[in-house]
């Protein structure tokens, strides 16, 4: 692993000359060195900045504190801190005993410096490895402590999890709703794992990612030669999910014809592959998800109400991250550990400001945005502490910055054109409909809008005609009214 910070060696010896010899040797090799002359001061200093210590090189015979006691005390503070003792030849045996008490190594005077360097470097490597193992254990622990890798402790999250837990053993179809990135798929997988179908397959498909005709054959399968390109017969996902769970993501985007076909499947529990007459029984539990408000989609005739009731025997709403602030840091910390291990990064913990940033950010992209932000911060971080600066601008900020920039450029361009040609495109105009106590007719609105568009374009009629999608003659006619 790349060492991003200077390795920090701590020298404990009451003999100033020895202290200086060792420190000069390590400083010349780009180590950071701290020196102490007895055990007590060393332990006190640990409280100040012990977190940054990598190895302790100590005389075995310290004033007022025997080597054994020193080892015990320092390991009470940091069990993983390697201690290397330097002993006189006549106390080599005692030094060897220290290894049994947890010391890392010992050397016998006179110090052979190349050997000391090897010992220090090995100790540091071991410490890093141990740290990685601890982090790994914590990741495993966190993911096992939290039910099946789902992290959260806020009342809102726990309420959703409780519903998921209760419905998991049943066969009921479940509709998971929630904003983008809230963890709908995570919950769907959790329900599957907690259900009697856990040993069966979990098949997920994103209904918005595949064009209609293709989606139909994906879901239902097709007979060989049933359409151009159907070279082989295909088993559909309903069949593949037999005795398991079929997760229909972004169900709100299903076309009307597929909505009708899905409704039939849910009613009859049978499917017919495209191009076949034979019906096949299916036994798949359907969990669907959408970030859309299906009530609105139903009101707008975009989604069938009867299908909605079939899919949503049990509705499960995943709250947005801003409504479960208590979940932010446990999630962020789990992501920090995961990405730090994956990237071999030195990042280990968040600074106070970084925590503040995480807690106050609106996370409009929810858990996914938080996960991406932590991944970026971990990759950019060069030290154990992840600072607020490592987060950089979020994607959403980036997009909104870009939009403002484009808007500004457009308005700058417009004023440039205006100063050059006398035309003023945009020019801060707003399209207002002034009501004087009555609703304007559509004709009034159209007329007003055309006039507005011409003004908006600084009088450029060709451009306005193009923008409005009408021909020039029509525009002129409308302006003469």
CB-based contacts of 425, cutoff 8 Å, min separation 6 = 413, 414, 417, 418, 456, 457, 458, 460
Which of Mg ion, ligand ATP, none does residue 333 bind to, with CB < 5 to 8 Å depending on kind?
A: none
Residue 95: C-alpha distances to residues 29, 58, 76, 78 (Å): 26, 11, 20, 20
Residue located via tokens 């890798």: 149
Helices then strands, counting H and E runs in the chain, come out as 19, 18
Does 151 contact ligand ATP by CB under 6 A?
yes
Does 184 contact ligand ATP by CB under 6 A?
yes
Which of ligand ATP, Mg ion, none does residue 116 bind to, with CB < 5 to 8 Å depending on kind?
A: none
Residue from 59, 216, 253, 371 in contact with ligand ATP (CB under 6 A): 371
Q: Rounded to the nearest 5°, which phi and psi values hold at 429?
A: -75, 145
Which of ligand ATP, Mg ion, none does residue 375 bind to, with CB < 5 to 8 Å depending on kind?
A: none
Which of ligand ATP, Mg ion, none does residue 82 bind to, with CB < 5 to 8 Å depending on kind?
A: none
Residue 131 CA to residue 102 CA, distance in Å, equals: 17
Residue 178 CA to residue 184 CA, distance in Å, equals: 7
Rounded to 5°, the CA angle 358-364-365 comes to: 95
Shortest spacing between CB 182 and ligand ATP, in angstroms: 4
Strands, DSSP E only, in 250-337? 270-271, 280-281, 285-290, 314-317
How many CA atoms does the CB half-sphere of 420 hold within 13 Å?
Answer: 7
Residue from 185, 218, 326, 385 in contact with Mg ion (CB under 5 A): 185
Stretch that binds ligand ATP, among 4-12, 177-185, 375-383, 392-400 (CB under 6 A): 177-185
Residue from 178, 244, 252, 319 in contact with ligand ATP (CB under 6 A): 178
Encoded one letter per residue, x for contact with ligand ATP by CB under 6 A and - for no contact, window 196-235 reads ----------------------------------------
Contact 463, 457 (CB under 8 A): yes
CA-CA-CA-CA torsion sign (29, 32, 38, 39): negative
Residue facing Mg ion at closest CB distance: 185
Encoded one letter per residue, x for contact with ligand ATP by CB under 6 A and - for no contact, window 244-263 reads -----x--------------
Which token pair is 378?
Answer: 């971990």
Which of ligand ATP, Mg ion, none does residue 183 bind to, with CB < 5 to 8 Å depending on kind?
A: ligand ATP
Stretch that binds ligand ATP, among 90-98, 145-153, 196-204, 301-309 (CB under 6 A): 145-153
Residues 245-304 that bind Mg ion (CB under 5 A): 249
Strands, DSSP E only, in 61-212? 61-62, 65-66, 83-87, 105-108, 174-177, 202-206
Residue from 35, 348, 368, 383 in contact with ligand ATP (CB under 6 A): 368
50 vs 183 by CB, closer to ligand ATP: 183
Stretch that binds ligand ATP, among 25-33, 89-97, 174-182, 213-221 (CB under 6 A): 174-182
Residue from 50, 181, 236, 244 in contact with ligand ATP (CB under 6 A): 181
How many CA atoms does the CB half-sphere of 197 hold within 13 Å?
Answer: 26
Stretch that binds Mg ion, among 25-33, 107-115, 155-163, 182-190 (CB under 5 A): 182-190
273 vs 291 by CB, closer to Mg ion: 291
Residues 283-312 that bind ligand ATP (CB under 6 A): 291
Asked if the peptide bond before residue 429 counts as cis, ω within 30 degrees of 0, the response is no
- Closest by CA to 217, choosing from 187, 238, 196, 188, is 238
Shortest spacing between CB 204 and Mg ion, in angstroms: 8
Does 185 contact ligand ATP by CB under 6 A?
yes
**Residues of this chain that bind ligand ATP (CB under 6 A):** 150-152, 178, 180-186, 249, 291, 331, 367-368, 371
């Amino acid at each position: 692993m790349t060492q991003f910070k200077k390795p920090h060696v701590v020298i404990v010896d009451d003999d100033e000359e020895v202290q200086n010899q060792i420190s000069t040797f390590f400083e010349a090799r780009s180590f950071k060195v701290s020196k102490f002359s007895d055990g007590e001061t060393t332990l006190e200093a640990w409280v100040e900045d012990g977190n940054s210590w990598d190895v302790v090189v100590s005389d075995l015979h310290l004033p007022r504190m025997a080597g054994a006691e020193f080892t015990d005390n320092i390991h009470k503070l940091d069990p993983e801190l390697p201690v290397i003792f330097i002993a006189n030849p006549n106390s080599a045996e005692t030094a060897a005993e220290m290894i049994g008490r947890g010391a890392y190594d010992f050397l016998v005077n006179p110090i052979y410096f190349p050997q000391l360097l090897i010992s220090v470097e090995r100790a540091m490597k071991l410490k890093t490895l141990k740290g990685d193992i601890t982090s790994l254990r914590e990741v495993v622990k966190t993911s096992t402590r939290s039910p099946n890798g789902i992290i959260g402790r806020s009342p809102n999250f726990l309420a959703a999890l409780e519903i998921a837990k209760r419905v998991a053993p049943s066969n009921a179809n479940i509709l998971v709703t929630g904003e983008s990135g809230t963890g709908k798929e995570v919950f769907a997988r959790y329900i599957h794992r907690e259900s009697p179908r856990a040993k069966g397959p979990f098949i997920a498909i994103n209904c918005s990612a595949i064009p209609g005709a293709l989606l139909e054959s994906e879901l239902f399968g097709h007979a060989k030669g049933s359409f151009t390109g159907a070279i082989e017969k295909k088993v559909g996902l309903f069949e593949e999910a037999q005795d398991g769970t079929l997760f229909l993501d972004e169900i709100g985007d299903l076309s009307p014809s597929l909505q009708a076909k899905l409704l039939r499947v849910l009613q009859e529990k049978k499917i017919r592959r495209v191009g076949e007459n034979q019906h096949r029984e299916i036994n798949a539990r359907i969990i669907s998800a959408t970030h859309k408000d299906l009530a609105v989609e139903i009101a707008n005739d975009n989604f069938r109400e009867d299908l909605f009731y079939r899919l949503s025997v049990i509705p499960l709403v995943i709250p947005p991250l801003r409504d479960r602030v208590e979940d932010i840091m446990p999630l962020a910390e789990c992501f920090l550990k995961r990405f730090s291990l994956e990237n071999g990064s030195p990042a280990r913990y968040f600074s106070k400001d970084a925590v503040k940033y995480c807690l106050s950010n609106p996370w409009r992209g929810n858990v996914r945005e938080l996960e991406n932000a932590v991944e970026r911060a971990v990759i950019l971080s060069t030290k154990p502490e992840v600072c607020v600066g490592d987060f950089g601008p979020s994607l959403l900020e980036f997009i909104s910055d870009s939009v403002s920039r484009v808007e500004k450029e457009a308005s700058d361009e417009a004023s440039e054109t205006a100063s050059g040609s006398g035309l003023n495109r945009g020019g801060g105009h707003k399209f207002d409909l002034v009501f004087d106590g009555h609703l304007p007719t559509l004709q009034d609105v159209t007329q007003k809008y055309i006039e507005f568009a011409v003004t908006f374009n600084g009088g450029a009629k060709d451009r306005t005609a193009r923008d409005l999608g009408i021909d020039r003659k029509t525009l002129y006619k409308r302006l003469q009214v």
